[in-house]
Structure 1
Amino acid sequence: MAASTASRLSPPRFHVSPRSPHPPLRRSRFSPVRAAKLEAVLSIGTHLIPHPRKAASGGEDAFFANSDAGGVFAIADGVSGWAEKDVNPALFSRELMRNSSNFLNDEELQVNGDPQILLMKAHAATSSIGSATVIIAVLEKSGTLKIASVGDCGLKVIRKGQVMFSISPQEHYFDCPYQISSEAAGQTYQDALVCSVNLMDGDMIVSGSDGLFDNIFDQEIISTISESSGVDEAAKALAELARKHSVDVTFDSPYSMEARSKGFDVPWWKKLLGAKLIGGKMDDITVVVAQVKTVAVPDEGGDIEEQKGNEQGIAVAVASAVQNEE
């Protein structure tokens, strides 16, 4: 027992090496480290299939997507009723999307990234006659998705195989959605449904014109996403499945189910024979599929000092291997 105590209290022995004429290089106690931070970005895939009777002209939907500075995408569905007035419905939706894309570099939008403000500016700059339903979504670097929507374009967020967020359509009545218009009687950015949702790494966003959501159920969206190898493949697969359903007169689609719930159905005498209103809805089909990813990017604030073990108080700090002479 005594020997054990003596062992614990015995002074340490040091081995002293001969002093070198050239002191060794070592890392400074206050070496600079390159600061970095985690930012959310979108990997975006898109696909558009025009209405079968409008394939030659490209249809009346329009969209844009941009992965810079986090990510932004938008969809506009031109209202086909304008064709009855000899107005091409595609002109308004295409110009609205072109203006939306052009205003991304606007100084005000660079600061706040507000999709409602983007919609306001794009609408004010659009001179074509017509109207369109529209949705704009902007991902902040923090991971917050900000949305502004007028009408019945849709957006859903899928997390771990479940729809955890979905926006609701805006309608005056069945099959007559809110719409941004060249006419004073139409809606404006002030009528937009504005909302935001906090996203996580790996979340999937599915957005589209009503041609998608009128013809495809949530579970079909989830299974198609899970079976796809990437966002481009997922967008194409969803668009093709929606198109298949849209021309199937025996498919009981989301559109036909909603129509029946609003009182639209086959004549009473067909009901007596067991018939009901079914079938898909032929339309332009635009699909945007985006996956949220988290990346480490250099902090523009520059270097910070590393003190006593490089404490990691921020999301991530990538140390620079700097050595200084003593």
Structure 2
Amino acid sequence: MGSFYIPKEYHLRPESKGQDSHFLFQEKNTFGLADGVGGWIKKGIDSGEYSRQLMNNSLIALNQETRGHVNPTRVLEEAYYVTKSPGSSTACIITLNDDDHCLHVVNVGDSGFLVFRNRKCIFQSPIQQHGFNHPYQLGCSSQFGDGVDVAIEIVVSIQSGDIVIAGTDGLLDNMFPSEIEEILMKAQDEDVHQTPADLALTIAEYALYNSLDKYSESPFSRAAHLAGKNHVGGKIDDITVVVAEII
């Protein structure tokens, strides 16, 4: 596993933690990510605190799980009920199960993951949203957040050599699967071994470039058009990328 994170305000405030959070727990074949919902800033609340606490509590819950038999839904539920910071967040926790050699995933909102086999995307997780740019989100306020009962469980069969790429919407709103395929193909063609961390960095930088492009089509601009909104180009946002290679 490897990861890379680019807070959207990094160029203005290098000390900024942003609103995304994630963890890698190699010993339990599990990782997770969360994206604090930016709309809370209008109320003077940094929902990055919520996402960071949610992921930290997920790590604590993981300590009670057995490697290869992690129940990601149970982990997220336990983390959700003890996370009390104001704000709200999407969440995605992914684990590799030894019994069926499948990815077992729990997901809330518009963070998600893709599975690549032979450098081609064979699966992309669905998003959950109340409306355009309004994702399902966990929060301690029922008025502004959803309960953990909205989480969906996903099981995906995987093979040795598959690559799992997960991200917050800073990745998924700015890169089509075909663009990630091109990066994976280029890495293969150059015959240079790239670690998951190397790939995460490359993909995150590509997503950042696209997010700043005001003219090209992006997944976000395509979704905006379908929703009757006028938006061209990428979407400036925090970008989290996690890459895991199945061995």
Q: TM-score, normalised by structure 2?
A: 0.91
1:219 CA drift (Å): 1.0
**Equivalent residues in 2 for 1:268-279 (5 A)?**
277-279=231-233
Q: Percent identity?
A: 35
Q: Quick one: structure 1 residues 120 and 62, their matched pair in 2 at CA, closer, same or farther if it must change by over 3 Å?
A: same
Q: Which residue number corresponds to residue 119 of structure 1?
A: 76
**Equivalent residues in 2 for 1:291-310 (5 A)?**
291-293=245-247
Letter in 2 for 1:92: Y
**Equivalent residues in 2 for 1:55-70 (5 A)?**
55-69=14-28
1:164 matched to 2:122? The reply is yes
Please tell me whether the aligned partners of residues 77 and 134 of structure 1 are also in contact (alpha carbons under 8 angstroms): yes
Q: Which residue number corresponds to residue 163 of structure 2?
A: 204
Q: Which residue number corresponds to residue 219 of structure 2?
A: 254
Whole-angstrom distance in 2 between the partners of 1:55 and 1:246: 18
Please give the secondary structure, in 1, of the residue aligned with 2:110.
coil
Please give the secondary structure, in 1, of the residue aligned with 2:214.
coil
**Which of the residues 240, 245, 248 maps onto 2:205?**
240
Structure of larger gyration radius: 1
1:110 CA drift (Å): 2.6
Q: Which residue number corresponds to residue 176 of structure 1?
A: 134
Please give the secondary structure, in 2, of the residue aligned with 1:183.
coil
Whole-angstrom distance in 2 between the partners of 1:214 and 1:252: 10
Q: Which residue number corresponds to residue 190 of structure 2?
A: none
Whole-angstrom distance in 2 between the partners of 1:221 and 1:258: 19
**Equivalent residues in 2 for 1:75-90 (5 A)?**
75-90=33-48
**Which of the residues 39, 49, 52 maps onto 1:94?**
52
1:252 CA drift (Å): 1.3
Letter in 2 for 1:234: L
Letter in 1 for 2:58: S
| Structure 1: 4+ residue segments shifted above 6 A | none
Structure 1: state its 5+ residue gaps.
1-43, 266-276, 294-326
Please give the secondary structure, in 2, of the residue aligned with 1:207.
strand
Please give the secondary structure, in 1, of the residue aligned with 2:166.
strand
1:45 matched to 2:10? The reply is no
Q: TM-score, normalised by structure 1?
A: 0.70
Please give the secondary structure, in 2, of the residue aligned with 1:196.
strand
Letter in 1 for 2:239: I
Whole-angstrom distance in 1 between the partners of 2:76 and 2:139: 12
Deviation string 1:173-208 (CA, Å, 9 cap, x unpaired) is 000000000112422222111110111100000100
How much is the aligned-residue C-alpha RMSD, in angstroms? 1.4
**Which of the residues 127, 134, 150 maps onto 1:191?**
150
Deviation string 1:206-233 (CA, Å, 9 cap, x unpaired) is 1000000111111111121233422111
Letter in 2 for 1:281: K
Letter in 2 for 1:46: S
Please tell me whether the aligned partners of residues 153 and 210 of structure 1 are also in contact (alpha carbons under 8 angstroms): yes
Please tell me whether the aligned partners of residues 120 and 188 of structure 1 are also in contact (alpha carbons under 8 angstroms): no
1:55 CA drift (Å): 4.5
Which is bigger in relative contact order (C-alpha 8 A, separation at least 6)? Answer: 1
Deviation string 1:73-120 (CA, Å, 9 cap, x unpaired) is 1000001111111112111000000010111111xx338411111100
Q: Which residue number corresponds to residue 242 of structure 2?
A: 288
Q: Which residue number corresponds to residue 152 of structure 1?
A: 110
Q: Which residue number corresponds to residue 218 of structure 1?
A: 177
Whole-angstrom distance in 1 between the partners of 2:113 and 2:233: 23
Structure 2: state its 5+ residue gaps.
188-193
**Equivalent residues in 2 for 1:102-141 (5 A)?**
102-106=60-64, 109-110=65-66, 112-141=69-98
